[in-house]
A and B are shown apart, each in its own frame.
Chain A
Amino acid sequence: MAELFKLLEEYNYRAVAIVGMTKNVGKTVTLNYLVKKYEEQGYCLGLVSAGYDGERFDRLTLEEKPRIYTPQGAFLATAKACYDAAEAQLELIEETNLSTPLGPVYLARVKESGLVEMAGPGSVSGLRKLLDKMISLGAERVLVDGAINRIASASPDLTGGVILATGAALGPTMDDVVKKTVVRKALFESEPVSDKHLYQAASRGLSEGDAAIINKNASDSDQYEVRPVNAEIPLLAAREALEQYSRETEAIAYGGALVDSAMNNILKLEPPYPAVIVKDATKIFISAESYNRYTSRGGKLQVLKQLSLVAVTLNPTDPGGRGYDPRMFLESMQEALKPCPVFDLIYEGSL
């Protein structure tokens, strides 16, 4: 199998998100691998974290964790307290107006390579600002490291491609870990709305409302009737939208999060179910059970903007003590997730 780095470079994304299924599944290992590769290839790199990375010990399990190496010339965004404590020599470019519990986020350039701790802003809008700044300053590649199981940084509005880290820490058995990862992959790879007219109808519905009911037009089967619904928050609009459901309803578009309670309400309807359309896969928060129930009975979960899942990386060990044979784990995941490329960077000797 090709190398993860080469594979990623084929896509030529400016910004890439690394997100995890949970804690301790190897996000930082994947980040460090990519940083090293980018450094070897002479790229000007930007690094930002959606959470906190590079700490010496896990805050809950107290296990030792991999630290983050930043090469000379790279751009780095991190909270003031981490900037002050960095082992790498940093040069301050700007104190941003983004705040974190460890002080404002500093945008810096690495004068002399070394280890750092990265603490980023808690919002996607904050990440967006930092990313744009780094790119305008000349960063050719920006890596956005995720935190715990948060996936918002994978939004196609922020990053071009996504690498998903998963591992033994995710569940009690290998089977369970594989199943959960398969569902996450399926959700990430939710198909874009293929019907051009339906796509236009959903886009219009969500630009005018927080949710929308999309009905078939009785006289012209190519056209749709769009009913936008507004409320205090999109979740509430979605509840109201469902009250307007009729047999003519082709799809329901959700402008915010798609949650289990919304999906359960759809499952109470008589099949065939209406299609469910969300802005992108990072807005989907439904459980494997409701996803499987909906799709197995012909339901279609679609997105306006598709997310690009580049690859999945594995950590066969869990700090809790359990662990799987790396080869067996890798082969099981490759089989279950194909054709998505799967890597165990440590087992395969990439590090």
Chain B
Amino acid sequence: MDVDFSKVKAYGDTLNDGSMQVSFTLPVPAGDEAREAARQLALKMGLEAPSVTEMVDLGAGFTFFVLYGKCTHTVDYAAIKIPKRQQEVLDFKQINELIKNELGRKVVVVAACTGSDAHTVGIDAIINMKGYMGEYGLERYPQMDAYNLGSQVPNEDLLAKAIELKADAVLVSQVVTQKNIHLENLTELVELAEAEGLRDRVLLICGGPRISHELAIELGYDAGFGPGTLPNHVGSYIAAELIRREKTEE
């Protein structure tokens, strides 16, 4: 197959046919006019010869469509450069051995949902004993002392508790929406830690459905974990980073 990576088109049956399927809902009652409206919208989207293969009346004046068409657009795949990082992921046993051998002490992790956030499902999946999708939570790690402070914890209290417990890492979970308030709750923790002179003493880690590495950097965190994160992903990062820091300090 001879693909021109500078002009990539959608693939249906043959290379560069541009075929694709799209689906959407229009706020109009089902009927011939609705079908035509969907077709015209697809044409405007750059789909040639669009055909409506499915039209479902959703009731209350809404109609759902599935269409096929040939997309005329191409993308220059060769020119795309995305900054990315690959982190080595270890399993439960490897992480514990690494901590035992390289650090020689238990790692203390303090976790909470901060501010007004009460969505604990993410942090529970990472911390709680039973874990998630067959991976034990950090509480189960013999080389870790994990504390789950629960939900709606004020940033000040979280910092004070982290220092009291001599935490190596602080995990914060937030459901970040487009409303800036959630972002600002995350940045406040970083800024408070900085003002209190604690920023270099603990790893600050954030997690949530909208969190990415890039957003974590913007927020000022040492790491960020998004959807699909398992406890051992977080554990691998904490262990590796603490060991790295200990070595560079020597």
Contact = CB atoms under 8 A, between A and B. Distances in A.
Given A61-B178, A119-B214, A148-B184, A233 B196 contact: yes
Nearest to A117: B83
Interface stretch (B91-99, B110-118, B141-149, B218-226): B218-226
Given A101-B222, A102-B214, A119-B83, A232 B163 contact: yes
Interface in B172-214: 176-178, 180, 183-184, 187-188, 190-192, 194-200, 204, 210, 212-214
Given A22-B180, A101-B223, A169-B180, A235 B187 contact: no
A23 B192 contact: no
Contacts of B222: 99-101, 122
A257 B204 CA distance: 18
B241 interface: yes
Given A22-B180, A148-B187, A232-B163, A99 B219 contact: no
Given A102-B217, A119-B214, A235 B159 contact: yes
B183 A51 contact: no
Interface string A64-86: 00000000000000011110111
A256 B197 contact: yes
A124 B194 contact: yes
A3 B215 CA distance: 33
A257 B195 contact: yes
A100 B85 CA distance: 10
B169 interface: no
B240 to A, nearest CB: 10
Contacts of B4: none
Contacts of B215: 52, 59-60
Contacts, number: 148
B45 interface: no
B187 A149 contact: yes
B178 to A, nearest CB: 5
Contacts of A234: 196-197
Contact of A123 (B178, B188, B194, B248): B194
A312 B222 CA distance: 30
Nearest to A84: B83
B214 A55 contact: yes
Residue of B178, B191, B212, B214 with most partner-chain A CB within 10 A: B214
B187 A261 contact: no
A227 interface: no
Contacts of B212: 59
B180 A120 contact: no
B197 A60 contact: no
B84 interface: yes
A87 interface: yes
B199 A124 contact: yes
A97 B248 contact: yes
Contacts of A259: 156, 192
Contact of B192 (A22, A122, A285): A285
B73 interface: no
A102 B218 contact: no
A150 B85 contact: no
Given A23-B180, A97-B248, A147-B218, A235 B83 contact: no
B187 A150 contact: yes
Interface string A92-134: 0000010111110000000000000101101111000000000
Given A60-B176, A120-B217, A147-B219, A102 B191 contact: no
B183 A23 contact: yes
A320 B196 CA distance: 34
B81 interface: yes
A149 B184 contact: yes
B171 interface: no
Contacts of B176: 60
Contacts of B85: 79-81, 101-103
Interface string B68-83: 0000000000000111
A152 interface: yes
Contact of A125 (B82, B191, B199, B217): B199
Residue of B178, B196, B218, B222 with most partner-chain A CB within 10 A: B218
A85 B217 contact: no
A82 B241 contact: no
A257 B192 CA distance: 6
Given A102-B85, A150-B187, A150-B191, A235 B213 contact: no
19 contacts: A23-B183, A59-B214, A59-B218, A60-B183, A85-B81, A101-B85, A102-B84, A120-B217, A122-B217, A123-B199, A147-B187, A152-B195, A233-B160, A233-B197, A235-B159, A256-B195, A256-B197, A259-B192, A261-B156
Interface of A: 22-23, 50-52, 55, 59-61, 79-82, 84-87, 97, 99-103, 117, 119-120, 122-125, 147-152, 169, 232-236, 255-257, 259, 261, 282-283, 285, 320
Enumerate the 9 nearest inter-chain pairs by beta-carbon distance, A residue then B residue, closest first: A81-B83, A101-B213, A85-B81, A257-B195, A256-B196, A51-B218, A122-B220, A52-B217, A152-B194
